[in-house]
A and B are shown apart, each in its own frame.
Chain A
Amino acid sequence: MPGQEVVSWLRTRFFPHIWCPGCGHGIIMHSLLRALVTLDKKQSETVIASGIGCSSRMAGYIDACTVHTTHGRSLGFATGIKLAKPELTVIDVMGDGDCSAIGGNHFIHACRRNIDITAIVMNNNIYGMTGGQASPTTPVGSMATTTPYGAIDPSFDICKLAEGAGASYVARTSIANPKQAEQYIMKGIQKKGFSVIEVLTHCHTTFGRRNNRKTPIDNVNFFKANTVPLSKAKDMCEEDLVGKIVIGEFVDKDVPEYTAQYLSLIERVRG
């Protein structure tokens, strides 16, 4: 049961939520809310932006300043909000489709600008909301409604993408480890810069069903068996890493942040 403080961040008047029983997105929301409570954030000074998808419905359930936008574009909205009022804590929750397909361009540019927004990518390897079509993170060989003979196109590594594009904090974990998700989200929020926390999750309803992971528990077990902490992976050879997903913190650096840069530009211009 979530603690009372966590519950106070929920818009229970809007329940029932739309998520399937056992969907991984709820676990991530819990981790996020615990992080916000631990950091003592104020609801009226916290913005949760989201795109479109099952994952993005999360914004509506959180009792904060929330904006549920268009598919893939949430980072554009979040950027406008953050630049207008840099004092706000801005978190952007998105699906893998939102982040790496339709919103890929916005994602890399938010990383490049290094604007102080925390992006939480709920990667379930599929388009859940629309019924199980392939996403750019659907693993090669996996079944989806639009890959009835198995996916043939290579998938994105969202963390590598974020690292390459310049994000200042990049980490990955899975819903099998909600405490770690909470810690990473906390660090992401505290980081002055663009942070990406990819949380591997499942859509047992549309992905698991077609890929031998029918139940939520099958999926949790899959993550437990197939994720390897970065510290361990460093000592493993390539062969041993085949089929494994590395989790951990990949980037944690201090580089100039966009809104701070803009505010100092204003100071410079105004003399």
Chain B
Amino acid sequence: MPEVAFWQGNEAIAYGALAAGCRFFGGYPITPSSEIAEIMAEELPKVNGRFIQMEDEIAGMAAVIGASIAGLKSLTATSGPGFSLKQENLGLAYMAEIPVVLVDVMRGGPSTGLPTKIAQQDVMQARWGTHGDHGTICYSPASVQECYDITVKAFNAAERYRQPVLILSDEVLGHMREKVVMKKLDPTQLVNRKRPNVVPEKFIPYLADPKDDLPCMASFGDGYRWHVTGLTHNDWGFPTNNPEEIEKKMKRLMRKIDRFRDDIVEYETAFTDDAEILVLAYGSVARSSLSAVNEARSRGIKAGFFRPVTLWPFPDKEVEKLARKIKTIIVPELNCGQMVLEVERAVHGRSKVVAQSLVDGELFKPDQIFKVIEEVA
């Protein structure tokens, strides 16, 4: 692999996955994500990994969960319609606590929508798309370099917290070319799931360490035998109707993310120290937003910039803190107003929140956002 490359976002995700130790890809082609599958088809056999094109996204999701249970770090990638199809099995991965990474390269919806156009309409689906309560870890890259770096992080988070981790990219980012520098990753920068350190006879598959709420995971074929199920289960992994066991499992599923919230949450800021107006944006829109904020600054407007890198958990505490001294928060999004609801929740009315939505299949131009900054200034 070259040390510096000129890649599309989708390529960066594929090579980031390989660098993170991904050795299995299962999926189904869909624009604008297909390049990820195509690169994995070419590269995985070279590292003794496995690629399989399944019959649909449902099976693609199933296959990566299966491969992860058998011990391989696994990736699947899709877009809108495929993301919808994956939801049921994604839920099984949450319930059974199976690490996998799922990339959704967002395009316009609903339904088949706009296969070749950018949108950010899946951000709430990423949080709540599968039925039932669960903690979500979802990253949102804003550059090709970050597509690479975040994919490594996503695998690490999946392995550490034993659950699916989502990456929401978008059509522009997926197909845009930028320089990527591949930092050398030494093995200490790669996380591997906690393995059991007891003999197979003593292995209790969902018995979590109270210190981190995370159970150890054995792989099929490693001498341990255990039961994986999407049914609510007890520490033995066996289905239960016992109210105490049910609550124990559900509370731990939420807690294992909640307690590490500060380790997981990532964000980026610019000019926030004296800002009176804040533009909060993610993904490709963050780039237009930062340009608009720079423009505002050059004209003496006290504008600042905030970019959640993790959409979920959302950096709510951090946004709330900023909101105490900010007059207006503008939230430009390529949807009809989704993350803005989360921003409103976070700021508790401490500042005015203005939604700016664009759903014409195009990316915001900086001056469109600058105009709104000017209006509220």
> Which residues of A approach B to under 8 Å, CB–CB?
11, 13-14, 43-45, 47, 49, 59-60, 63-70, 73-85, 87-88, 105-106, 109, 262, 265-266, 269-270
B59 touching A66, Cβ below 8 Å: no
A-B contact pairs, 27 of them (CB 8 A): A44-B200, A44-B225, A60-B229, A65-B220, A65-B221, A66-B227, A67-B69, A68-B227, A68-B228, A70-B62, A73-B62, A76-B58, A76-B61, A76-B63, A79-B26, A79-B62, A79-B63, A80-B64, A82-B66, A83-B63, A84-B71, A84-B72, A105-B59, A262-B52, A265-B45, A266-B45, A270-B45
Q: Are A77 and B65 in contact (CB under 8 A)?
A: yes
Q: Does B286 contact A (CB under 8 A)?
A: no
CB-based closest 6 A-B pairs: A80-B66, A76-B62, A80-B63, A84-B70, A76-B59, A77-B66
Q: Which bucket holds chain B's interface residue count? A: 35 or more
Given contacts A79-B66, A105-B56, contact A88 B220 (CB under 8 A): yes
Chain A residues positioned under 8 Å from B64 (CB to CB)? 80
With contacts A65-B221, A85-B221 known, what are 5 further pairs, Cβ within 8 A? Answer: A66-B225, A69-B62, A78-B66, A80-B63, A266-B45
Which of B52, B89, B236, B239 touches A73 (beta carbons < 8 Å)? B89
The interface residues of chain B, by DSSP majority, are classed as mixed
Given contacts A60-B238, A77-B65, A84-B24, are A70 and B226 in contact (CB under 8 A)? no
B61 & A85 in contact (Cβ 8 Å cutoff): no
Residues of B within 8 A of A (CB): 24, 26, 45-46, 48, 50, 52, 54-56, 58-72, 74, 88-89, 92, 200, 219-231, 236, 238-239
Check B55–A106 contact: CB distance below 8 A.
yes
Write the nearest CB–CB distance from B149 to chain A, whole angstroms: 26
In the complex, the answer to whether B67 meets A83 with C-beta atoms within 8 Å is yes
A82 to B54, CA, bound (A): 14
Cα of A269 to Cα of B48 in the assembled complex, Å: 10
B44 to chain A minimum Cβ distance, whole angstroms, is 9
Chain A residue nearest to B231 in the complex (CB): A68
Supposing A44-B225, A63-B225 touch, asked if A69 and B24 sit within 8 A by C-beta, the answer is no
A87–B221 contact, CB under 8 A? yes
Which residue of A is nearest B24, CB measured? A84
- Closest residue of chain B to A57 (Cβ to Cβ) is B239
Nearest-CB distance from A104 to chain B (Å)?
10
Contact B220 A80 (CB under 8 A): no
Contact between B48 and A85 (Cβ–Cβ < 8 Å)? no
Chain B neighbourhood of A64, CB < 8 A: 225
The chain A residue sitting closest to B61, CB to CB, is: A76
CA distance A60 to B228 in the complex (A): 8
Q: Is B221 a contact partner of A80 (Cβ separation < 8 A)?
A: no
When the two chains form their complex, are residues A80 and B67 in contact, meaning their CB atoms are under 8 A apart?
A: yes
Residues B89 and A80 in contact, CB atoms below 8 Å apart: no
Q: A79-B66, A85-B220 are in contact. Are A106 and B59 (CB under 8 A)?
A: yes
- Give which listed residue, A59, A77, A105, A270, contacts B227 with CB less than 8 A: A59
Across-interface contacts of B63 in A (CB, < 8 A)? 76-77, 79-80, 83
* Chain A positions within 8 Å of B219 at CB level: 85
Beta-carbon contact of A81 and B58 below 8 Å? no
- Cβ-defined contact, A69 with B92, below 8 A: yes
Q: A270 touches which one: B46, B58, B226 (CB < 8 A)?
A: B46
Contacting residues, chain A, for B224 (C-beta < 8 A): 44, 65
Nearest Cβ in chain A — how far from B101, in angstroms?
14
